[in-house]
Amino acid sequence: VVVGGFYADNNTFASSGVLYVALNIQKDSLGDVHAEAFKAKFLNDYSGDRTASRSADLINYEVDKIILRSDGGMVILAESNFVTESSSYNSYYQLYTVTYTYHYDNVMILSVNPDGSLDWGNVMRKSQSSENDDAFFSSYALFASEKELCLLYNRGIRRKSDIIKYVIDSKGVASESVIIPGNEELMLMPKGCKQVSANHLIIPCTDKSKPGLLNFSF
pLDDT of residue 46: 61
Q: How many Å from the N-terminal Cα to the C-terminal Cα in the chain?
A: 28
Distance, CA of 177 to CA of 165 (rounded, Å): 5
The model scores a pTM over 0.75: yes
Dist. CA 165–CA 124, nearest whole Å: 10
Contacts of 51 (CB under 8 A, 6+ apart): 14, 57, 59
Is residue 132 very low, low, confident or very high in pLDDT (cuts 50, 70, 90)? very high
| pLDDT at residue 186 tops 70 | yes
Burial class (CB in 10 A: 0-12, 13-18, 19+), 104: buried
pLDDT digits (tens, 9 = 90+) for 65-107: 999 999 999 999 999 999 999 999 888 888 999 999 999 999 9
